[in-house]
Amino acid sequence: MAVLENVSRRAVLLGMGAGALVLSLGLPTAAQEEPLKFGADAMPHGWQDDPRIFVAIDPDGTVTVTVHRSEMGQGVRTSIAMAVADELEADWTRVRVAQAPGDEPTFGNQDTDGSRSLRHFFHPMRRAGAAARQMLRQAAAAEWGVPVDEVTAENHVLGHAASGRQADYGEMAARAAEREVPARESLTLKSPDQFRYIGRDDIGLIDNPAIVTGGTIYGIDAKADGMLFAVIARPPVYGGRVASHDATAALKVPGVERVVVIDPPPQPSEFQPLGGVAVIATNTWAAMRGREALVIEWEHGDHGAYDSEAFRGELEQSARSTDGAVVRNQGDALTALQQAPRRFEAEYYIPHLAQAPMEPPSALVMIRDGKCEVWACVQAPQVTRVRVAEKLGLDPRDVTVNVTLLGGGFGRKSKPDFVLEAAILSREMDGRPVKVTWTREDDLHHSFYHTVSVEHLQAGLDQDGRPVAWLHRTAAPTIGSIFAPDPMQKLPFELGMGLTNMPLDIPNVRAENPQAQAHTRIGWYRSVSNIPHAFAIQSFIAELAHEAGRDHRDYLLEVIGPARKINPVEQGDVWNYGEDPARYPIDTGRLRRVIETASEAAGWGKEMPARSGLGLAAHYSFVSYVAVAAEVEVAEDGNVRVPVVHIAIDCGPHVNPDRIRSQMEGAVIMGTGQALMSQITFAEGRAQQDNFDSYLVPRMDSAPREIHVHLVGGEDPDQPLGGVGEPGLPPVTPAIVNAIFAATGKRIRQLPVGAQLSS
Amino acid sequence: MIPFRSAMTATLLALAATPAAADCASHLDLMDEVLDQASRESIATSSGGQAVAGAREARAMTETEAPGNDATAAEAAQEPQPPQAPGHAPPAEAGDQVQRLRASLDEARTQAGQDEAACRETLVTALRELVSGEDKPDNP
């Protein structure tokens, strides 16, 4: 069995060794009272910055940073370790990371979502490193009998200049471990000019050597002695159940040990398993063959007639109705629309999408002596822990969730339904280890899908073509439908993703949210509602610019208006990504700057070859600012290539520039898929896409050939951090679609482009 | 933290004590202060993560006990939280109600100065709906 590195096991090992600075988990001192909490403070279990939780130094000087956020390719294990190591003054070559298990009371919030890992934990992790450095200095001072102020800590070496004494961190670790943790207020953090790693572009992923040599463990790799393997035939329609089944043939498949019926969840189903019939075998292949041999009759429930094409018609009707909830209302948009010299309207359709992480969901669970151990690729290990405990009737403290690396997540792995399946089956097998494997087909058929949306926009233009009235109706099933009994309106946090906080300088703005019912399992997908909102708004602005006979970039900047700071609350936003609006206003100057950067880098205004075009879009999300300028080539047969993309982001100070670039590159590729090829459709309640032959994502030949990432801003080290994982995505698709219009004169209002240009 | 409805009720009482001659815009200014604070409270109790925001907001919007990271009896049995860890936030303020009331009052603000009676009617209607819960979305 491969050994999975995990802090829960490390603690045992280190406890047997001498001198390690792994201290018993203690509680830091009380923080100041605040009337309202935002950001990390507002998350369940908040944050921790105690070095005894996050930093261990072995006698040989190896520094282990425990990372409590899930690594899914975004590089958080590297970035968190950089922050700790920098303040610790550790030698990067002697730094390693361990993954924290699910345990929020100890580690602070672990939901790896919302583009928050550095935004919420950069400073706590810096403090943890600084405190550990101070403890080492104090230990050295006591050992040497010198004032602590005279002890230096630099690149893993403690020194005292006057006496010439030096010690490696490892030599002083045991003594440091006996020191009290310095008060938070007493810590002196580095100034940016003192940073050793933070802001550097050449650090590289700390996991890279292991990844490229096969030394890492993903959820799908987890193994245990005596492990059984399971696959599950789930109801093909959301809300369905097993009416009857015959497992006779399945049980005859060599290797199949057991067939188990899993009950469907109550509604709303939250993160509960969908139910179905599980086949448990001695290997995955046998389990899959056994599943094929099952004879199952399904009851399809309320959504058996769900047809996404027909539903599009319903959404369009809803988006054209005037009885939606008014969620934003500046000025008098309805009157201004009627009185405007020119009026323009358009409707945009964005289909369901599946997160489709390269590694499908997978979990290994075993139960022994009243305790449960989980190995899984989860974005929310504490939620997993609690839900498994509930399912098994255990105390959460008796459930250990070991977090593996994630082969992509995109929000899918925030939902631990697949872990609960494994827990149910392990219990059925008297606690034996059971690994549940999802195939690609399982993943695409039973996802927590990105919602489907119709965005209806109207604008009234003045004599100069400038918008004086703006009406935006968004009709889409809500994520709230998995949490509550069939809410018909989007939740405020969904509306706060580009609708209620839309920062255009238009005097009369109205946003409405007509009703829409969910007919499948809706979940969050990277960037969430920013995707439809940005696609619609940025396409519409380009359409208005064309209608007005204006250059798109000039028009976009004009509609955004002069640089100013907007309080989102005053516009009607009640989310603001969970951040204090005083600390995180919307800064249109920063939005303008990324637009100017991307467009200038792309050579905006240059002459383009026939059937080539340059498109532009910008969007504010996850408290970061991103603009994209994309070039496209449209062949005579309608095939679209994206030769060059320039993407500019202002996310505040750049902690790990290499990872910011990586996230922007990934966003460009994913956004290209959304623009050109990706969609999930439903017929008779079933997702119609089975694998990557029908759920299309960009391959090498359709991915952008050049992606240029421009990091903007970050000059002010005190500026609060913005998100990075998600904000790159929303402007990519409208930029490509706008480029297609520039190349062909054909306006795409329905995603994906697919074959729309071939006729 | 004062619950939104309680704050609005207090505001209504304050409005009732306002001289009858006060114009609608003056009432709106007072309401704006309450709404700004209520909006900040909604932000604070929603959270920046999709999982928690989704659960908390769905629970608040539908006034149900939707499950979520912060809403489990099992978890409540765990050790007390350290002082600086905020632990379980209270159920979200009904951000959707705040949002809709803001939209209504913005409409009234547009009417203020042009049609005083219309402004007052919009204001009163919005407050009545809020207090009675008439603006809640229909759930089948």
Contact A493 B58 (CB under 8 A): no
Mean pLDDT, to the nearest integer, of A489-516?
Answer: 97
pLDDT of A750 strictly over 70: yes
Contact A332 B74 (CB under 8 A): no
Provide the chain A residues 339-398 that lie in CB contact (below 8 A) with chain B.
380, 382-383, 386, 389-390, 395-397
Q: How many domains are contained in chain B?
A: 1
Contact A382 B69 (CB under 8 A): yes
Mean pLDDT, to the nearest integer, of A643-659?
Answer: 98
Q: Is A280 helix (H, G, I), strand (E, B) or coil?
A: strand
Phi first, then psi, for residue A132 (nearest 5°) are -65, -40
Mean pLDDT, to the nearest integer, of A40-64?
Answer: 97
Half-sphere exposure of A495 (CA within 13 A, CB side): 34
- In a domain? residue B74: no
Contact B67 A270 (CB under 8 A): yes
Residue B35 belongs to domain spanning:
21-65+92-135
pLDDT in tens, B83-106: 333 333 444 457 898 999 999 999
pLDDT of A223 strictly over 90: yes
How many Å lie between the alpha carbon of B117 and the closest alpha carbon of chain A?
Answer: 17
Specify the DSSP class assigned to residue A653. Answer: S
CA distances from A748 to A464, A476, A733, B70, B130 (A): 25, 20, 11, 42, 41
Radius of gyration of chain A (CA): 27
Asked if A584 reaches chain B (Cβ–Cβ under 8 Å), the answer is no
| Closest partner CB to A386 (pick from B64, B74, B137) | B74
Q: How far apart are CA A327 and CA B135, in angstroms?
A: 12
pLDDT of res. B34:
86
Nearest-10 crossing angle of helices B116-132, B4-17: 140
Asked if B91 reaches chain A (Cβ–Cβ under 8 Å), the answer is no
Residue of A nearest to B40 (CA): A574
Could you write out the DSSP letters of every residue in A205-273? -TTHHHHHTT---BGGG---TT-EEEEEE--SSTT-EEEEEE-HHHHHSTTEEEEEEEPPPPSS-TT--
The answer to whether the beta carbons of residues A629 and A602 sit under 8 Å apart is: yes
Residue of B nearest to A47 (CA): B85
A46 — pLDDT class (breaks 50, 70, 90): very high
The answer to whether the beta carbons of residues A455 and A347 sit under 8 Å apart is: yes
Query: Which residues neighbour A334 within 8 Å (Cβ) at sequence distance 6 or greater?
Result: A469, A471, A510
pLDDT of B74 strictly over 50: no
Please identify, in words, the CATH class of the domain defined by A308-354+448-744: alpha beta
Burial class (CB in 10 A: 0-12, 13-18, 19+), A215: exposed
- Other Cβ atoms closer than 10 A to A759: 6
Asked if B125 reaches chain A (Cβ–Cβ under 8 Å), the answer is no
Q: How far apart are CA A13 and CA A106, in angstroms?
A: 19
pLDDT of res. B13:
67
The answer to whether the beta carbons of residues A412 and A357 sit under 8 Å apart is: yes
Q: How far apart are CA A393 and CA A711, in angstroms?
A: 49
Asked if A326 reaches chain B (Cβ–Cβ under 8 Å), the answer is yes
Q: Is A628 helix (H, G, I), strand (E, B) or coil?
A: strand
- Other Cβ atoms closer than 10 A to B126: 21
Question: Which residues on B lie below 8 Å from A113 (Cβ)?
Answer: 49-51
Give the residue, B82 or B33, on which the prediction is more confident.
Answer: B33
Torsion angle defined by CA atoms of residues A34, A36, A39 and A44, in that order, rounded to the nearest 10 degrees: 90
pLDDT of A19 strictly over 90: no
Asked if A36 reaches chain B (Cβ–Cβ under 8 Å), the answer is yes
Helix (H) or strand (E) holding A7: helix A7-16
B65 — pLDDT class (breaks 50, 70, 90): low
Q: Range(s) for CATH 3.30.365.10 in chain A?
A: 7-205, 219-302+361-437, 308-354+448-744
Residue whose C-alpha is closest to residue A402's, from A421, A384, A387:
A384
Half-sphere exposure of A666 (CA within 13 A, CB side): 20
Six-digit token string for A584: 């995180």
B4 — pLDDT class (breaks 50, 70, 90): low
pLDDT of res. B75:
47
Classify the C-alpha dihedral A298-A301-A304-A308 as positive or negative: negative
Q: Which CATH code is given to the segment(s) A7-205?
A: 3.30.365.10
Contact A120 B43 (CB under 8 A): no
Residue of B nearest to A104 (CA): B87
- In a domain? residue B104: yes
| Fold assignment, A219-302+361-437 | Aldehyde Oxidoreductase; domain 4 (3.30.365)
pLDDT of B67 strictly over 70: no
Helix (H) or strand (E) holding A56: strand A55-57
ipTM: 0.90
The CA angle B10-B16-B22, to the nearest 5 degrees, is: 120
pLDDT of B70 strictly over 80: no
Contact A485 B40 (CB under 8 A): no
- In a domain? residue B61: yes
pLDDT in tens, A365-411: 999 999 999 999 999 999 999 999 999 999 999 999 999 999 999 99
A257 is catalytic: no
Provide the chain A residues 402-431 that lie in CB contact (below 8 A) with chain B.
411, 414
Question: What is the CA A10 to chain-centroid distance, rounded?
Answer: 28
pLDDT of res. B127:
82
pLDDT of A5 strictly over 50: no
Asked if A309 reaches chain B (Cβ–Cβ under 8 Å), the answer is no
Q: How far apart are CA A94 and CA A85, in angstroms?
A: 10
B21 — pLDDT class (breaks 50, 70, 90): low
Query: Which residues neighbour A351 within 8 Å (Cβ) at sequence distance 6 or greater?
Result: A308, A452, A679, A680, A681, A751, A752
- Residue count (chain B): 140
Percent of chain B scoring above 90 in pLDDT:
25
pLDDT of res. A564:
98
Question: Which residues on B lie below 8 Å from A332 (Cβ)?
Answer: 107, 110
Q: How far apart are CA A230 and CA A96, in angstroms?
A: 34
Contact A574 B99 (CB under 8 A): yes
pTM of the model: 0.93
pLDDT of res. B89:
41
Asked if A324 reaches chain B (Cβ–Cβ under 8 Å), the answer is no
pLDDT in tens, A188-216: 999 999 999 999 999 999 999 999 999 99
CA distances from A602 to A593, A735, B29, B57, B104 (A): 14, 12, 46, 41, 43
Specify the DSSP class assigned to residue A189. Answer: P
Six-digit token string for A514: 């007509």
Question: What is the CA A465 to chain-centroid distance, rounded?
Answer: 38
Question: Which residues on B lie below 8 Å from A386 (Cβ)?
Answer: 69, 72, 74-75
Question: Which residues on B lie below 8 Å from A577 (Cβ)?
Answer: 48
Q: Which of A26-30, A126-130, A284-288, B63-67 has the lowest mean pLDDT?
A: A26-30
pLDDT of res. B77:
39
Q: How far apart are CA A672 and CA A702, in angstroms?
A: 8
Give the residue, A24 or A118, on which the prediction is more confident.
Answer: A118
Query: Which residues neighbour A138 within 8 Å (Cβ) at sequence distance 6 or greater?
Result: A148, A176, A179, A182
Contact A483 B58 (CB under 8 A): yes
- Residue count (chain A): 759
Average pLDDT of the residues of chain A? 94
CA distances from A88 to A146, A153, A549 (A): 21, 8, 57
Asked if B43 reaches chain A (Cβ–Cβ under 8 Å), the answer is yes
Contact B46 A397 (CB under 8 A): no
Question: Which residues on B lie below 8 Å from A493 (Cβ)?
Answer: 46, 50, 53-54, 57, 95
pLDDT in tens, A319-345: 999 999 999 999 999 999 999 999 999
Percent of chain A scoring above 70 in pLDDT:
95
Contact A492 B49 (CB under 8 A): no
Residue whose C-alpha is closest to residue A404's, from A362, A433, A346, A440:
A362
Q: Which of A114-118, A343-347, B18-22, B133-137 has the lowest mean pLDDT?
A: B133-137
Specify the DSSP class assigned to residue A506. Answer: -
B130 — pLDDT class (breaks 50, 70, 90): confident
Contact B79 A495 (CB under 8 A): no
Residue whose C-alpha is closest to residue A54's, from A62, A45, A64:
A64
Helix (H) or strand (E) holding B105: helix B95-111
Q: Is B40 helix (H, G, I), strand (E, B) or coil?
A: helix
**DSSP-derived pairing of the beta strands A241-246 and A295-299:** antiparallel
How many Å lie between the alpha carbon of B100 and the closest alpha carbon of chain A?
Answer: 5
* Selected residue of A107, A489, A574, A576 to mutate for chain B interface (largest B Cβ count, 10 A): A574
pLDDT of res. A219:
97
| Closest partner CB to B137 (pick from A116, A483, A487) | A487
pLDDT of A723 strictly over 50: yes
Mean pLDDT, to the nearest integer, of A153-162?
Answer: 98
Q: Which of A253-267, A454-468, A563-577, B1-15 has the lowest mean pLDDT?
A: B1-15
Asked if A543 reaches chain B (Cβ–Cβ under 8 Å), the answer is no
Q: How far apart are CA B38 and CA B10, in angstroms?
A: 13
How many Å lie between the alpha carbon of A586 and the closest alpha carbon of chain B?
Answer: 15
Strands (E) located in A570-673: 586-587, 612-621, 624-634, 640-650
Mean pLDDT, to the nearest integer, of A281-296?
Answer: 98
Asked if A62 reaches chain B (Cβ–Cβ under 8 Å), the answer is no
- In a domain? residue B26: yes
The answer to whether the beta carbons of residues A539 and A472 sit under 8 Å apart is: no
- In a domain? residue B46: yes
pLDDT of res. A486:
80
